[in-house]
A and B are shown apart, each in its own frame.
Chain A
């Protein structure tokens, strides 16, 4: 049920972006090295609750969930495998959650946020440097950070698949 509602909500959102900007970048992208080659992927189904005021960082809040079922890497069967129990185990853990704990400003629209990231049943505090640029009424967020997939039980140690996953966030609210 919950997933369905989430899906509904989230569907509306990417559409807006696609209509608005011409050279759309997927809001959530990730990169991982497999046999020396970068594999790019996206998670297209997600939603957020944001109230972010650079002048009031104390009361600012960023919360988001992403649905690993919407993962795409360009190879369908691989996507399916990633959803399986040895990776995201979407049946048991239908949401990736992230929520902010506090922010500090680094000047010129740059910030650092301490977030709690929950993937599967692992919660970890992570530090994410990000930028927020105002364009009219909208706020454009962008961030790039790296996590170790093994910390969250995403697959197992592998000769060919890297441990580090680079995550690229880029969206407008």
Chain B
């Protein structure tokens, strides 16, 4: 079967041809037959929820800030017509200076192995274990973020300040072998963005990740022609209906300005598709996500049960590229092209996880536990706990989850009447920067109240990762325009206020110390 490029005759398709189409063939797509597609029907486990029904997809997500442009996802018919992902065995990526002698040749000498046999998944434990495997399984081998050339280039590591784990391992990508001599760099595993390299070189899966993704992407884009940089940035972030069209404006600039915008996104944040590198979302800590009622900083995805998390994964890996937003589609497609029955060759849009895989993934994500907290309760933290209550933090960051699981409107968003019944609303703006939630495809007009659990191993803070430390969150100087944000600043900006969330700013230094000590015990 020949993969068909179903893209309009534009720069977009040129870009595809240039970069991705080269890699498409041998893997994933090949070997898919009608038989393969039908297999799921037969072995369908009875208690595995069916994730993508037209009914469920319709109102699972919140509307866009600008409701006319709320996402219209692909149909259930389209979805279940996509072939399921085959999970090959994957292999460690090393920094070039640490790659064991002969490793590269060995990788090219081995055969493909399929690593996951779904028919064997029976117990909860089986699912969690399979889920962990899937968590680290790259769904892309087209080079969505970084390429084979990048990871074999020492300069790439220097430029991106890529953290390495023990033994010089680059822990955010894996080699996929799909046949003898067919070695691809796998991108877009959950672990790519949701794994943190701890100071001792160990890995903390699920935590706010430390993959410097946008810097790494910028490195690869340096060699690309300006128009391609613009096209791909458009796929990722365009939201032309947003007031002032900030992404359109970015794309009207020179290539270097765009690369600078990528490079300005700090570690701990990532311009995921549908969000922004101008208002980059902090990577959330997935540990404890089971207890959160909304997913993403704007609370775009409701999270009422495991099915919703499965839906979230399916949508974000990366079917949202096929959403229609009014008559706009990020890849420049239209309904007709999307539903023509031909595969749309773009990372994550021509295949899907099986419902069983999604179930396993969600089970695993739910199972991830935080490491033992070294910050134990003390007199100081007890004092901080009282301050936490006195300062009213507790109303929004309510124990035991340290969130009241509500959505707060951003400045400039008027809560539609019907939302009060449909969603969990806390109807006051905390006044943080409204950019992400009013000007992106994922924007809803809200910011959810984040959980404060695990603050001790997290950072940078706030939805746009502006502040490196908890001390900065409580620093009143951050409200002044001369302030230099300690994490995300923005390309070409030297100083700016990090406004809003004006809680606890007036405490005296001793009280702040106690409050922070308490926060670090959560």
Report the minimal beta-carbon distance from B408 to chain A, rounded to whole angstroms: 9
Does the CB pair A160–B394 fall under 8 Å?
Answer: yes
Cβ contacts B421-442/A at 8 Å (1 or 0 each): 0000111101100000000000
* Range, interface on chain A: 10 to 19
Q: With A34-B394, A85-B427, A86-B427 in contact, do A77 and B389 touch (Cβ < 8 Å)?
A: no
Residue from the list A34, A84, A159 in contact with B428, Cβ < 8 A? A84
**Is B503 in contact with A75, judged by CB distance below 8 angstroms?**
yes
Given the known interface contacts A77-B428, A77-B430, A86-B425, the answer about A34 and B503 at a Cβ–Cβ threshold of 8 Å is no
CB–CB B395/A34 < 8 A: yes
Q: CA of A78 to CA of B427 in the docked complex: distance in angstroms?
A: 11
With the chains together, A158 CA to B392 CA distance in Å? 14
Query: Cβ of B337 < 8 Å from any Cβ of A?
Result: no
Tell me the A66-97 residues at the B interface (CB within 8 Å): 73, 75-78, 80-81, 84-86
Size band of the B side of the interface? 10 to 19
Query: Across the A-B interface, how many residue pairs have beta carbons closer than 8 Å?
Result: 45
B428 touches A37 (CB 8 A): no
Q: Does A35 contact B (CB under 8 A)?
A: yes
- B390 and A37 contact, CB distance less than 8 A: yes
CB of B519 to closest CB in A, whole Å: 15
Q: Contact: A75 with B427, CB < 8 Å?
A: no
| Residues from chain B with Cβ under 8 Å of A34 in the complex | 389, 392, 394-395
The answer for the CA separation of A36 and B388 in the assembled complex, in Å, is: 11
As a 0/1 sequence over residues 29 to 48 of chain A, the CB contacts with chain B under 8 angstroms (1 = contact) are: 00000111101000000000
Give Cα distance in the complex from A162 to B265, angstroms. 42
In the bound complex, do residue B389 and residue A36 qualify as a contact, i.e. CB atoms below 8 Å apart?
yes
CB of B508, distance to nearest CB on chain A (Å): 15
Which residue in chain B gives the minimum CB-CB distance to A77?
Answer: B428
The reply to whether B503 and A160 contact each other, CB–CB distance below 8 Å, is no
| A80 cross-chain contacts in B, Cβ below 8 A | 428
Tell me whether B502 is interfacial, beta carbon within 8 Å: yes
Whose C-beta in chain B lies nearest to the C-beta of A79?
A: B428
**Which of B395, B399, B428 sits near A161, CB closer than 8 Å?**
B395
Residue with the greatest number of chain B CB neighbours at <10 A, chosen from A34, A35, A84, A85: A35
**Residues on B facing A (Cβ under 8 Å):** 386, 388-392, 394-395, 398-399, 420, 425-428, 430-431, 502-503
Return 12 A-B CB contacts under 8 Å, by A number. A34-B392, A35-B394, A39-B392, A75-B391, A78-B395, A81-B426, A84-B427, A85-B420, A86-B420, A158-B398, A159-B399, A160-B394
A35-B394, A86-B425, A160-B394 given; 15 more Cβ-contact pairs under 8 Å: A34-B395, A35-B389, A35-B399, A36-B389, A37-B386, A37-B389, A75-B392, A77-B428, A77-B503, A78-B392, A81-B428, A85-B427, A86-B420, A159-B398, A160-B395
